[in-house]
């Protein structure tokens, strides 16, 4: 990069650094504040500065802890399922489609993603209902002779909702790292006599790991903090961390909401740090950064 571009004059510094600093503060200060509040005491309808582990104590022993455990399990298992689908899709569009068609497919993939996922989740609730089109279709076909109950308000429905909501987003990072692989490496492996599966396992898969890990984070973040999918498709009482946090907010228990939120954000930050530790950001954003 040339010096001329890097040269600094005070006005430009203020103009550029100002907004960046503002964003940094707007993102980081509230998160730090949440950590601080999580140690505060709860008052009748508010909170009071102090230092207590009450909220964490209540969180880790009460019914909320089972919500955390369930959330963790649902998030991890749904992320694994979503990774399998997203990887298959990314692999097919990278290696089996013409580049021009890949772009079209990625575009088509992102259109539903841009439509609010709460609305899409409502639609799934309708599609999967006892009298909904899916049951009707199966009845008409004669596959079943009474409506399936487990289609809605079940683990199945929640997983389906999560996949519909977050899987498309996971295709992009995997596609980014798959398409960055030097095709000559794959050809070399083929010429050296490796079977296709071996080539995939020993060349393609390892080289695509930065994207896979990024996709895993996206999926996990979505599923772990989920509010709408669990409430709409899981039915009454199906709670994930997001639901537990909002219901604490509803009863104005701010320290508890802060404590649970801190645990969630903490999990995310650990994953993010691991990602940054193992992979260089430029490896992944290389195309975007143009170097």
Partner 1 sequence: MRGSLHLLVWLCLAAVLVFLYAPLVPPLLLAIRDPQTGAATLNNFAAIGADPTLVSAITNSVLLAAIVGIAAPLLGLAAAQAVRSFGLPRLIITIVLLPLFIPGVSMGVSTSLFFRLTGIDPSLFTMAVVQTLWALPFAFLIILTVMSGFDTLYLEAAYTSGANRLQAFREVELPQIAPGLTGAATFSVILSFNETVRTAVVQGGNNTVQTFIWSRYQQVGLTPNMYALMSLIIIVTLLLILVLVALGRKQQQS
Of 185-204, binders to partner 1 (CB under 8 A) are: none
Q: How far is CA 253 from the centre of its chain?
A: 27
User: Using an 8 Å Cβ cutoff, are 267 and 224 in contact?
Assistant: yes
Q: Which of 80, 188, 195, 276 binds partner 1 (CB under 8 A)?
A: 276
- Rounded CA separation 167/223 (Å): 10
Binding mask of the shown chain, residues 14 to 53, with x at each position contacting partner 1 by CB under 8 A: -xxxxxx-xxx-xxxxxx-xx--x----------------
Q: Which of 11, 141, 192, 197 binds partner 1 (CB under 8 A)?
A: 11
Strand partners, 46: 43
- When the beta carbons of 107 and 184 are compared against partner 1, the nearer one is 107
User: Using an 8 Å Cβ cutoff, are 83 and 170 in contact?
Assistant: yes
Q: Which of 53, 80, 84, 88 binds partner 1 (CB under 8 A)?
A: 88
Closest by Cα among 71, 85, 113, 20 to 221 = 71
How far are the Cα atoms of 29, 261, 277 from residue 32, in angstroms, in the given order? 5, 11, 22
The phi, psi pair for 229, rounded to 5°, reads: -60, -45
Minimal distance, residue 2 CB to partner 1, in Å: 5
Closest by Cα among 172, 176, 272, 281 to 221 = 272
Angle of CA points 108, 110, 115, to nearest 5°: 110
Binding mask of the shown chain, residues 116 to 155, with x at each position contacting partner 1 by CB under 8 A: x-xxxxxxx-xx-----x----------------------
- Rounded CA separation 262/265 (Å): 5
Q: How far is CA 70 from the centre of its chain?
A: 17
- When the beta carbons of 111 and 192 are compared against partner 1, the nearer one is 111
Q: Which of 147, 249, 279, 283 binds partner 1 (CB under 8 A)?
A: 249
Using the rule CB under 8 A, is 105 a contact of partner 1?
Answer: yes
Using the rule CB under 8 A, is 228 a contact of partner 1?
Answer: yes
- Rounded CA separation 173/143 (Å): 39
Stretch of 5-13, 57-65, 183-191, 205-213 contacting partner 1, by CB under 8 A: 5-13
Using the rule CB under 8 A, is 254 a contact of partner 1?
Answer: yes
Minimal distance, residue 240 CB to partner 1, in Å: 10
Using the rule CB under 8 A, is 264 a contact of partner 1?
Answer: yes
Using the rule CB under 8 A, is 219 a contact of partner 1?
Answer: no
- When the beta carbons of 131 and 145 are compared against partner 1, the nearer one is 131
Applying CB under 8 A, the site for partner 1 has a residue count of: 89
């Amino acid at each position: 990069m040339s010096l001329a571009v890097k040269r600094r004059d005070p006005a430009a510094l203020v103009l550029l650094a100002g907004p960046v600093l503002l964003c940094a503060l707007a993102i980081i200060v509230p998160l730090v504040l949440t950590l601080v509040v999580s140690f505060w005491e709860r008052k009748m309808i508010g909170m009071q500065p102090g230092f207590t582990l009450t909220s964490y104590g209540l969180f880790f022993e009460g019914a909320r802890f089972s919500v955390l455990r369930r959330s963790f399990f649902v998030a991890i298992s749904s992320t694994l399922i979503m990774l399998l689908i997203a990887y298959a899709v990314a692999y097919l569009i990278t290696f089996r489609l013409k580049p021009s068609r890949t772009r079209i497919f990625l575009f088509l993939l992102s259109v539903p993603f841009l439509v609010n996922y709460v609305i899409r989740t409502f639609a799934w609730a309708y599609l999967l209902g006892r009298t909904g089109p899916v049951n009707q279709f199966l009845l008409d076909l004669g596959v079943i002779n009474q409506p399936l109950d487990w289609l809605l308000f079940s683990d199945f429905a929640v997983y389906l909702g999560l996949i519909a909501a977050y899987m498309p987003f996971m295709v992009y990072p995997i596609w980014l790292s798959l398409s960055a692989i030097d095709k000559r490496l794959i050809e070399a492996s083929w010429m050296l006599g490796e079977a296709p599966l071996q080539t995939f396992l020993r060349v393609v898969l390892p080289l695509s790991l930065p994207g896979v890990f990024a996709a895993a984070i996206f999926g996990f973040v979505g599923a772990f903090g989920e509010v709408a999918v669990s409430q709409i498709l899981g039915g009454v009482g199906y709670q994930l961390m997001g639901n537990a946090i909002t219901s604490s907010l509803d009863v104005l228990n701010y320290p508890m909401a802060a404590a649970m939120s801190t645990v969630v954000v903490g999990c995310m930050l650990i994953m993010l740090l691991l990602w940054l530790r193992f992979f260089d950001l430029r490896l992944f954003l290389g195309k975007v950064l143009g170097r």
